[in-house]
Amino acid sequence: MKKVFKFAGYTILTLILIVAGAITYVKVALPSVGEAQKLAITYTPERVERGRYLANSVTICMDCHSTRDWSKFSGPLTPGTLGVGGERFDQTVGFPGVYYSKNITPAGISRYTDGELFRLITTGVTKEGRAMFPVMPYKNYGKLDPEDIYSIIAYIRSLPAQPTQVPESVSDFPMNFILNTIPSKASPQKMPPPSDRLAYGKYLVTASSCIECHTQVDKGKIIEDLAFSGGREFPFPDGSVVRSANLTPDQETGLGSWTEDMFVNKFRAFADSTYQPPSVSPGEFNSIMPWTMYGHMTKEDITAIYTYLKSLKPISHKVEKFTPAHKSM
């Protein structure tokens, strides 16, 4: 009997050592994405302008790294907050922790070299080697043309420096252990020529990270089998809930009946110089879709996105767009 207990004790000790070793490896050896490259970007006016277009209308970095005014439809950016960060993403919208967007004006990023910023944006690893939770879809950005990432860096370097205090992000258990396993090396590609509308559209959909909001999630991770079929829930503070649309070409519940002109005009209506976002009272329908930002994409880019979305596998998924808060009795 003593031998049995002795063997069981050795087995338990071995398991403890294996688990301890695995935890140590995850915490110490990961993330492993390589050193930041030595990079010196030339900040030409053309590059800064390309970065401005991407960061404000395609990758919409400014959407999360600024303050949005939810008293107006689609939450347009509050003037004077461009790039200051501080937006909160937490368990109420499906994240396994509390995460805050960083200050990406020069006041927040001046300590980074260009190479370190490139690694951060494309792999999710900070200057100090810490892993970030992918609220910022760095895995998508890691698939983009490096030239576009260089342009975004040039643009945010050009923003007015605005010092702010942003709280540290904190992951819940067990995400605080899993987090280091998420970053991976970037797999950049050349931007396809706009003449190849399908490939170019896929590139833009990747850059815009449409899949992130238009797919349901489980503990912050998108459910791949439901990609682009909508239904991800976004609660508002008053208790009402808005859900993302089905972007697959399903005839009844998605974009199957939409023409190219309908799709383009939906976006471009928000870029009209006369458009002013209407006020929205608590409990009334609102949208988290940053229409006033995406609306400024070029017609060429919007039509390419339409072409790619129409090529997706149709998924029948009827989405209830909005549920108002239950009124108290």
Q: Which of 57, 66, 62, 70 is nearest to 291 (CA)?
A: 57
pLDDT, position 8: 53
Going from the C-alpha of 28 to that of each of 32, 119, 131, 207, the distances in angstroms are 10, 19, 12, 31
Alpha-carbon torsion (140, 82, 292, 167), positive or negative: positive
Does 222 lie in the same domain as 162? no
Instruction: Report the distance separating Cα 94 and Cα 233, nearest Å.
Output: 8
Treating both helix axes as pointing N-terminal to C-terminal, what angle do 299-310 and 197-208 enclose, rounded to 10 degrees?
100
Residue 24 has pLDDT above 50, yes or no: no
Residues 6 or more apart whose CB falls under 8 angstroms from that of 121 comprise 136, 138, 141, 149, 152, 153
Domain's final residue, options 191, 213, 247: 191
Question: At 64, phi and psi to the nearest 5?
Answer: -90, -25
Residue 215 lies in a domain: yes
In this structure, how many other beta carbons lie within 10 angstroms of the beta carbon of residue 106? Answer: 17
Residue 283 lies in a domain: yes
CA 129 remoteness from chain centre = 20
Instruction: Report the distance separating Cα 106 and Cα 220, nearest Å.
Output: 29
pLDDT, position 329: 34
Does 313 lie in the same domain as 253? yes
Does 201 lie in the same domain as 167? no
Instruction: Report the distance separating Cα 126 and Cα 169, nearest Å.
Output: 13
Residue 326 has pLDDT above 90, yes or no: no
Does 49 lie in the same domain as 186? yes
pLDDT, position 11: 54
Does 216 lie in the same domain as 180? no
Domain's final residue, options 147, 172, 191: 191
The percentage of the chain sitting over the pLDDT mark of 90, rounded to a whole number, equals 82
Angle at 173 between CA 171 and CA 177, to 5 degrees: 80
**265-310 confidence digits (pLDDT tens):** 999 999 988 899 999 998 899 999 999 999 999 999 999 999 999 9
Does 152 lie in the same domain as 210? no
Q: What is the mean pLDDT of residues 141-150?
A: 98
**190-223 confidence digits (pLDDT tens):** 999 999 999 999 999 999 999 999 999 887 788 9
Work out how many domains the chain is built from and give that number: 3
Alpha-carbon torsion (51, 57, 60, 63), positive or negative: positive
Residue 19 has pLDDT above 50, yes or no: no
> Domain range holding 88?
41-191
Residue 134 has pLDDT above 90, yes or no: yes
Residue 33 lies in a domain: no
**165-188 confidence digits (pLDDT tens):** 999 999 999 999 999 999 999 999
Tokens 């229409």 found at: 291
Residue 35 lies in a domain: no
Does 115 lie in the same domain as 61? yes
Question: Exposure of 235 by Cβ count < 10 A (0-12 exposed, 13-18 middle, 19+ buried)?
Answer: middle
Does 129 lie in the same domain as 112? yes
Q: Which residue has better confidence, 18 or 280?
A: 280
pLDDT, position 221: 82
Does 204 lie in the same domain as 329? yes
Instruction: Report the distance separating Cα 232 and Cα 92, nearest Å.
Output: 12
Q: What is the mean pLDDT of the chain?
A: 90
Could you give the 3-state DSSP secondary structure of residue 77? strand
Taking a C-beta distance cutoff of 8 angstroms, is the pair 265, 159 a contact? no
Does 70 lie in the same domain as 5? no
Q: Cα torsion at 306, 311, 314, 317 (round to 10°)? A: -30
Q: Which residue has better confidence, 313 or 32?
A: 313
Residue 180 lies in a domain: yes
| Contacts within 8 Å (CB) and 24+ apart, 15-23 | 23/177
Q: What is the mean pLDDT of residues 44-49?
A: 98
**252-264 confidence digits (pLDDT tens):** 999 999 999 999 9
Does 183 lie in the same domain as 205? no
**223-240 confidence digits (pLDDT tens):** 999 999 999 999 988 889
Instruction: Give the largest Cα separation in the chain, rounded.
Output: 86
